[in-house]
Structure 1
């Protein structure tokens, strides 16, 4: 069992509350209110900007050329998500500049700054553990919702589902999963494992709170 699976299983109820959140279920069955989807997209755009900074930080924290390449690839994957949000938000006549200038909600600030704080105070493994619930969790959600899109090609949220169920994003998640094991270059002590479990669980709770903030 890899590190990601161990961390996920250590907070199984928290993980389930994230990947099977009401927001995700409503998105999957098409019943999510338009206003909630718009709110989510705007906040996720701001979220991705901060996560891009976190991946840039991982480049600074790099200890090898392979670390630098990994940071570069991950940063590129995050930046490649922004056009999806820009296209979807264009239906409300929101421009990229307007998205970038939107006000961050408390859940967005709490989550993104937590990740950046972990990255600043810890090492590259700490940072990647904090990033993992988002990157890998969205791939799991995309796979779970893919049958909805297959059954209904005109799904209201089909473009979003296709993005995260797609091969490119699934590859990014696989790389992130393997990266955790690569960074764990020696057996973890019990105290170190507990620390990583707390980081992972906190980031996972932040994900669920991020969904919830769009429904509020």
Structure 2
């Protein structure tokens, strides 16, 4: 029996749908999300990205082959050298300075998901870690695709969150997410049913923690 990333989604259909179609996402799409909620999310997402940079550094340490090491390095470089810089610039457009970001405390939802990923990586192997990371990298690409298919999504200058949607629907981000799917599919195809169930539990946990992260933003929780 051969498994794929889609099997992880099918095995966790309810939480995955709840994550992709969360009220935070819907309100981003139709432009009704409270600006204060979005600013809170942006601040915490900055802290989230820093911890995910650490996760890709750990993935490099866990990499058994040169190919895996290069894959981890590409993820680390994309976050530290590119995405964080873009995120800081975007936050400034919303009145959030880099100094504000540097002084932020982590919300509980931020702590929960990022430390779960790092703990999973420390306890398990490289595949465990990538499955824990997948709801973020692959999930955000799917969120963007889902949004642009919805008739209620507002595009252009009439939606204050247009730049966020455009960032994650961009060819560059979609290509990075697809590369991660390919990496996962190559390794999932050889796992046993027992191992798949272990990975599915990690995927379930990580997806539920992503749902909590949306909720943290929507309700401005710390």
1:209 to 190, 208, 212: 212
Deviates more, 1:18-27 or 1:79-88: 79-88
Corresponding residue for residue 85 of structure 1: 87
| Root-mean-square deviation over aligned CA pairs | 1.9
Name the SS of the counterpart of 1:13 in structure 2.
Answer: helix
Equivalent runs, 1:41-52 vs 2, <5 Å: 41-52=42-53
Match of 2:32, SS state, is coil
Matched, 1:187 2:190: yes
Q: Deviations over 1:169-201 (max 9, x none)?
A: 0000001101112334x6322321111000000
Q: Do the aligned partners of 1:119 and 1:127 also contact (CA within 8 Å) in 2?
A: yes
Structure of greater relative contact order (alpha carbons < 8 Å, 6+ residues apart): 2
State the aligned residue count. 215
Change (3 A) 1:74 1:2: farther
Please list the CA deviations of residues 121-170 of structure 1 after superposition, one character each: whole Å capped at 9, or x if unmatched: 11110000000011001001111223579963212111111100000000
The corresponding residue for 2:135 is 133
Please say if residues 141 and 177 of structure 2, whose CA atoms lie closer than 8 Å, have aligned partners that are also in contact. yes
> 1:22: which partner in 2?
23
Structure 2 unaligned segments of length 5 or more: list them: none
Partner of 2:107: 105
Q: Is the 8 A contact 2:3 2:191 kept in 1?
A: no
Distance 1:44 1:151, change over 3 A: closer
Tell me what 2:145 maps to: 143
- 1:204 and 1:169 map into 2 onto residues whose CA distance is 19
